[in-house]
Amino acid sequence: MMRNPGRAKTVPDLSPDTVKATLAQGRANGKGIIGMKILRQGDMRTRQDEALKYALSLGILDAFTIGAESPAEQGDLIHRIAAVNV
């Protein structure tokens, strides 16, 4: 699992660099890489732009999921994703 910049709820036995390298190798081998819970179950709700920029800057995700509590929040996230510069 790749972790967000806040390192919320990290798994101590794998470093982020190890996970990133493993996922990059999988992608190089033709596997699709899907990022899950980009906002860390809401832990990054007040830092959405930072979490999105981090996830999109990795260069290894083919798709990702983000939960939204309302259509308005979903629309806001769509605009934030489109505005990310990596």
pLDDT value at 68 more than 60: yes
Say which residue the tokens 């994703």 belong to: 81
Q: How far apart are CA 39 and CA 29, in angstroms?
A: 27
Q: How far apart are CA 20 and CA 86, in angstroms?
A: 17
Q: What is the pLDDT of residue 67?
A: 86
pLDDT digits (tens, 9 = 90+) for 4-55: 555 555 555 778 888 899 999 999 999 999 998 888 777 888 899 999 999 9
pTM: 0.75
Domains of the chain, by residue range, sit at: 16-83
DSSP string over 8-62: TT--TTS-HHHHHHHHHHHHHTT---EE--TTGGGTTGGGHHHHHHHHHHTS--S
Q: What is the pLDDT of residue 7?
A: 56
